[in-house]
Structure 1
Amino acid sequence: MSEITSTNNDFFKSKVLGHPSGLFVLFFTEMWERFSFYGMRVLLINFLTMAAIGTNPGWEWTSENAGALFGTYAGLLYLTPIAGGIIADKFTGYRWAVVIGALIMTLGHASMALESEFSMYFGLGLLVIGTGFFKPNMTSIISEMYKDLPEKKDGAYTIFYMGVNAGAFFGMMLCGYLAEKVGWSWGFGLAGIFMLLGSLQFWLAKPLFGTIGDVPKRDKVVEAISPDGQIDVTQPKAEVKPEDKRNPFTMLDKVLIVITSIIGLLYLIDDPASKIGNIHLLPQEFLVSKEVLPGALVITIIGLVLFLFLVISRIVRYTKVVRDRMIAVIVFAFFTVFFWLSFEQGATSLVLFARDFTDRTLMGNQAVVFNIINTLLTIIPLALVSWVLFLLFKQTAKKIATSNIVLALSFLGVWGIVVWMLNNDYNSKAYELKYQAIKTAQIDKKTKKQAVDENGDLVFDFNAVTETTVLKPTDVVVDQTVTISSKDALKVNDKVVLHNEIGNFVYLTKDLETKIRNDYKNATKDSKIIKAEVVQLKENQVEVTVSWFSILNSFFIIAFASMFSKWWDSKYNPSAAVKYGLGLIIMGLGFAILAYGARVIPSGAEAGAVRVSMIWLILAYLFHTWGELCLSPVGLSYVSKLVPSRMIAFMFGMWYLAIAIGNKLAGSLGGMIEGITKEYDMSTFFLIFTIVPIVAGLIVVALNPMLKKLMHGVR
């Protein structure tokens, strides 16, 4: 072990769980950042597509427009960190970059909480810029902390990524619950509050870090990569190996980088701008007729071809071994696109599926069981993280007292929201209501005859009679029942009013009824208010929030990560290509489960017309997480192993480009859910994401022998 610097030696005097206390300051800072990021992310598609008139109105966008905006936002999140890392390295230092990024993201969340069109776009832009500063520099600080103790670095990253998953878990749970139960601005606002508290806590802990995170000295070069692929510029210069000899960018290289970057940025902005606002940054027609290929797509393809030429032209300048290894990286990067375009459906189409076609209402014993599970799922992780917080307080009470006070207030806030959430679910009241509906035969689009179910029984649609419905003499009107939850104490035979919100019947208080009537009047739309009558008092009922399903990924990662880690450390550890293939195949199997569960949803079904069991969505998230755990050891860590140090920054840019493309495609393809299910059915939509990753996974496995040769012994 090399001689430990005085700064790092002092840094390691204060320890928590065998690691310096400063690591846990970073743990909580990253936790609050992920809390805010995932808390907002889980709301965006739901908010954009929610009905504009209702108890919790959204913008009522089409899924295509919402997906286009989300895809651009998600794609840019993986491109700005490239610039953020360079700025931190050359000018600001890591610590200032983290603070700047956190403050910009705080302003972004605050802007989104205003819910106006300008504030939403402005807020998303700030989040993209803030992430660029924040994301690449947290792990760089850890790398600098452990530069003299490399053997402890893996353990440090394991602890750090527990903070990532804890933040994602609680962010999606609490921001989602507040947004859906109280109002969207509450969810967006909560994300911003904890981002601000996280940045304050980090900045006030400066005495604990000393000079760690300051602007790096210029006698250091890129030599190492953290497990998540962040560039570590803290390692001293080493003897340059032949394969690491300088390969400077030519003028043509620089020109191609500028051209392809401009094309990519223009396309990312043009896609949502043209769909939402009919604003075109790229020509609608270029080289070929727009009926054959839209101009924007033609230009984007040209940009990708130019970028591929750039990559190939640089690769051929290296020795054979290096060249082969870089080709292997390109193969992995290509198939990374297929993983992310499928995985990120969790933030797009699966949100809509959970909201519109999943039965999220639990009553009686089912509600009791869910409440118990949800309580354990929430309290146990929060208690464990609070215990870590207590250990940090014990070690740093005097040195960073103000930072600890901010952190304590943050956790008091989280505990308060959790107690309120659980109390709200435990004390909900349920009532069975009777309302009138028009009974019509459901027509099968394929046979043009009345549809039948699996038992051969005829299928009917029941459309609620609203106060503006004009009944025809031929209409068959029948009584239907629905169970709703309400905080109001209702009695049998009470007359109440309901509102149909994307297939959900919502009880209206007097104030809400007045508001919604005025909204319909101002919008000159037919009212969807329904008259109903209480017929029975029911046992307690719980409506699972749409955002609750998204927490399953973080939970399953925490639950299964150690099992997969033991697998990778065993003699049965598969090769990189097999891991990659398994990840893609298991991901596809998750969508196969959804395709099977959604088979009862007919073509063109309206939201809420048919709802399937939530078990299908839970199982899908389980398989998606297993796929992620298979694929995650391969990605960025293999870039650092296979690529020479002089080429690392460029290849990481290419890798992040692949992830950005995958995220953009995820938004675009996820936005097609309405069109595909209208023309075909929901199962067909999910089969797309079954077939594509499975075929891609099988191809990767088939390429295993070739990839092994290209990697020249690297495992």
Structure 2
Amino acid sequence: MSTLSQPFQDQKKLFGHPIGLFILFLTEMWERFSYYGMRAILVLYLVEETASDNPGLGWANDSAIALYGWYTMFVYVASIPGGIIADKLIGQRKSVFVGGLLLVAGHSVLAIEQMWAFYTGLVLIVMGVGMLKPNISTMVGGLYPKNEQNKRDMGFYIFYMGINLGAAAAALIVGYVGEEHGWHYGFGLAGIGMALGQLIYMVGQKHIKHVGNLVEDTRPQAERKNLLGQIFKNSNSIIGFAITFVGGVAIWVFGGSWSYGALVMALAFAVGIGIVVYNDGNKVEKDRILVTYLSFLIIIIFWGAFEQAGGLMNVYAAQKTDLMLGSFEVKASWFQSVNAIFILIFATLVGSFWVWWKNRKKESSSLFKMAIGVIIMGWGFFFMSIASQEVGYDAAGLVTAKSGMQWLVLAYLFHTLGELCASPVALSFITKLAPERWMAFMMGAYFAATGLGNKVAGLLGESASEYGEFAIFTGIAVFCTIFGILVILILKPLKRLTHGAEDLAGTTDEEAEGFELADN
């Protein structure tokens, strides 16, 4: 007799998996198609001259990369309110539906050649991704009973294949249309892709109606904690909030930057809530939460370097890379698909390597893999340093000689290998350490850290105009190498703070590497 509950028994299967998995697979594939397609041409559109055959906005490189940094940061930070809305108000399934509608509207508005439409479209996309992204992955897990971990992991593997298929196709197709036929046609095509994903999600509701529904909190009101209110009831959370908030005020008043000052002041609430969560734990939980917070620093640094792909490296491909293969011109935006293509090629190989490595009784903790990932990703920038030395300029600063495409490809290869080491285990690591009652907050904080990394990427890209690309690329490579080595040097005390959480986790590291690809 089956021990599965009725919803799991009633699920129709396809290739041994619930049909709902493939509904979510196709929805996320088209969502990533729309996001990465728009991402591939956004900066190129911003920096393209207004008088060209395919006119853009004619922005300076640093201004375009700054906007890109703000945009990609808010896309991920929006996951926190998106998760809260799902947890407290409408559930994950309805949140994904609302997010899809917002994304269709946002990409469609971007097809209008007006500045009001441009900024409105960006805001709608930020809101849409915030509602969809933190919730659709959780719904995948809800399709499988807890006693089918291997099947669930394989389901995530299939799901994340959709993410990378969508990302790979987006840069090639949307990038070509945007560069060749018009930027707004590219934005519109991204919107059509999202509309297809939304239609599939709507039609497939009958296969996912049992997952992602709102879970009512049945506890007495007195036992439900108001996180914002709790900040001001503990001395350490008050101090953490106050120091961060005052730092934001100082940046605003003395640094002359209201935008960054406001950002830091907003982060003061995140710091305060983070300390409230820490205070709520027992001794073991506090140690594990502390390590989780430290891992967020690794995440910020990793994505701060990695996300040069959509900003500085995207501009570099368009302006300073020889894109001719004989008489054929490679589109600059196509390089945005290289990472996703490499993921599809190397994901299994990297996962198999770590299985082999662990079987040889070598260090294979998540923190170790994250540190190695940062180092390998950083080494990719050495190829960009070489590329920047090949570029020639005349007396007026105009480019007279360009670098070869092979350096970009090699850089993206190392970035992908680093990502496959660091990103998959980061999410898994957090789920192993975070207390169950704070899991939603920790997942939101993870995406927020990713968003801050994106903003750091924008800041670094902006500084290339002042310091030069060779200095920025080399500096990132050296810093990532040193930082990764430092993490490895303090690995033992960090592992002690986990109190064996990875040894006690329900899934093995081999399963995590083999079946969880990077979700960006």
The interval holding the TM-score normalised by the smaller chain is 0.7 to 0.9
Q: 1:219 to 1:692 in 2, by over 3 A?
A: same
Q: Greater helix percent: which structure?
A: 2
The equivalent of 1:668 in structure 2 is 459
Deviations 1:590-610 (A, max 9, x none): 001110222133578845422
Which amino acid in the other structure matches residue 118 of structure 1? W
Distance apart, 1:216 and its partner CA? 3.0
Deviations 1:144-170 (A, max 9, x none): 211365331101000000000000010
Query: In the TM superposition, what are the counterparts of 1:4-83 in structure 2 within 5 Å?
Result: 4-12=4-12, 14-15=13-14, 17-83=15-81
Which amino acid in the other structure matches residue 9 of structure 1? Q
Distance apart, 1:217 and its partner CA? 4.0
Q: 2:341 aligns with which of 545, 555, 565?
A: 555
Distance apart, 1:285 and its partner CA? 5.3
The equivalent of 2:231 in structure 1 is 253
Query: In the TM superposition, what are the counterparts of 1:348-359 in structure 2 within 5 Å?
Result: 348-359=311-322
Distance in 2 of aligned mates of 1:134 and 1:33: 9
Q: Secondary structure at the match of 1:59?
A: coil
Q: Secondary structure at the match of 1:215?
A: coil
Distance in 2 of aligned mates of 1:285 and 1:602: 39
- Do 2:107 and 2:191's aligned partners in 1 also have CA atoms closer than 8 Å? yes
Q: Secondary structure at the match of 1:609?
A: strand
Query: In the TM superposition, what are the counterparts of 1:553-702 in structure 2 within 5 Å?
Result: 553-570=339-356, 571=359, 572=362, 574-602=364-392, 606=397, 608-677=399-468, 682-702=469-489
Distance in 2 of aligned mates of 1:299 and 1:564: 41
Normalising to structure 2: TM-score of the pair? 0.86
Query: In the TM superposition, what are the counterparts of 1:205-224 in structure 2 within 5 Å?
Result: 205-209=204-208, 211-213=209-211, 215-218=213-216
Q: Secondary structure at the match of 1:4?
A: coil
Q: 1:704 aligns with which of 478, 488, 491?
A: 491
Distance apart, 1:705 and its partner CA? 1.1
Task: Return 84-93 or 688-697, whichever deviates more.
Answer: 84-93
Between the aligned residues of both structures, percent identity stands at 35
Q: 1:5 to 1:144 in 2, by over 3 A?
A: same
Distance apart, 1:84 and its partner CA? 1.9
Distance in 2 of aligned mates of 1:310 and 1:216: 23
- Do 1:283 and 1:296's aligned partners in 2 also have CA atoms closer than 8 Å? no
Distance in 2 of aligned mates of 1:68 and 1:89: 33
Instruction: Tell me if 1:543 matches 2:506.
Output: no
How many correspondences in the alignment?
A: 486
- Do 2:460 and 2:472's aligned partners in 1 also have CA atoms closer than 8 Å? no
- Do 1:337 and 1:659's aligned partners in 2 also have CA atoms closer than 8 Å? yes
Deviations 1:200-219 (A, max 9, x none): 1221122333x323633426
- Do 2:392 and 2:400's aligned partners in 1 also have CA atoms closer than 8 Å? no
Distance in 1 of aligned mates of 2:392 and 2:120: 39
The equivalent of 1:203 in structure 2 is 202
Distance in 1 of aligned mates of 2:212 and 2:390: 59
Distance in 2 of aligned mates of 1:2 and 1:83: 39
Distance apart, 1:102 and its partner CA? 1.1
Q: Secondary structure at the match of 2:459?
A: helix
Distance in 2 of aligned mates of 1:144 and 1:623: 34
Distance in 1 of aligned mates of 2:269 and 2:191: 40
Q: Secondary structure at the match of 2:80?
A: helix
The equivalent of 1:414 in structure 2 is none
Structure 1 stretches of 5 or more lacking a match? 222-244, 268-281, 364-540
Which amino acid in the other structure matches residue 474 of structure 2? L
The equivalent of 1:132 in structure 2 is 130
Structure 2 stretches of 5 or more lacking a match? 503-520
Distance in 2 of aligned mates of 1:330 and 1:204: 40
Distance apart, 1:2 and its partner CA? 7.2
Distance in 1 of aligned mates of 2:193 and 2:266: 39
Q: Secondary structure at the match of 1:671?
A: helix
- Do 2:320 and 2:399's aligned partners in 1 also have CA atoms closer than 8 Å? yes
Distance in 2 of aligned mates of 1:2 and 1:247: 38
Q: Secondary structure at the match of 2:501?
A: coil
Query: In the TM superposition, what are the counterparts of 1:296-335 in structure 2 within 5 Å?
Result: 297=260, 300-301=263-264, 304=267, 307-308=270-271, 310-312=273-275, 314-335=277-298
Which amino acid in the other structure matches residue 667 of structure 1? G
Which amino acid in the other structure matches residue 325 of structure 1? R
- Do 2:314 and 2:332's aligned partners in 1 also have CA atoms closer than 8 Å? yes
Instruction: Tell me if 1:176 matches 2:139.
Output: no
- Do 2:393 and 2:399's aligned partners in 1 also have CA atoms closer than 8 Å? no
Q: Which has the larger radius of gyration?
A: 1
Q: 1:284 to 1:629 in 2, by over 3 A?
A: closer
- Do 1:577 and 1:703's aligned partners in 2 also have CA atoms closer than 8 Å? no
Deviations 1:646-688 (A, max 9, x none): 23233333323321211111112212323322xxxx3222112
Q: Secondary structure at the match of 2:21?
A: helix
Distance in 2 of aligned mates of 1:45 and 1:635: 28
Distance apart, 1:111 and its partner CA? 0.9
- Do 2:29 and 2:162's aligned partners in 1 also have CA atoms closer than 8 Å? yes
Query: In the TM superposition, what are the counterparts of 1:379-394 in structure 2 within 5 Å?
Result: none
Distance in 2 of aligned mates of 1:636 and 1:84: 18
Normalising to structure 1: TM-score of the pair? 0.64
Distance in 2 of aligned mates of 1:107 and 1:302: 31
Deviations 1:541-580 (A, max 9, x none): 1100001111110011111110111123331462222211
Q: 1:100 to 1:297 in 2, by over 3 A?
A: closer
Distance in 2 of aligned mates of 1:254 and 1:189: 47
Distance apart, 1:6 and its partner CA? 2.7
Q: 1:145 to 1:587 in 2, by over 3 A?
A: same
- Do 1:321 and 1:712's aligned partners in 2 also have CA atoms closer than 8 Å? yes
Give the RMSD, CA atoms, in angstroms: 2.8
- Do 1:141 and 1:212's aligned partners in 2 also have CA atoms closer than 8 Å? no
Query: In the TM superposition, what are the counterparts of 1:63-212 in structure 2 within 5 Å?
Result: 63-147=61-145, 150-151=148-149, 152-209=151-208, 211-212=209-210
Q: 1:337 aligns with which of 282, 300, 315?
A: 300
Deviations 1:222-280 (A, max 9, x none): xxxxxxxxxxxxxxxxxxxxxxx9987473416979x979x99xx9xxxxxxxxxxxxx
Q: 1:687 to 1:93 in 2, by over 3 A?
A: same
Q: 1:609 to 1:156 in 2, by over 3 A?
A: same
Which amino acid in the other structure matches residue 709 of structure 1? R
Q: Secondary structure at the match of 1:206?
A: helix
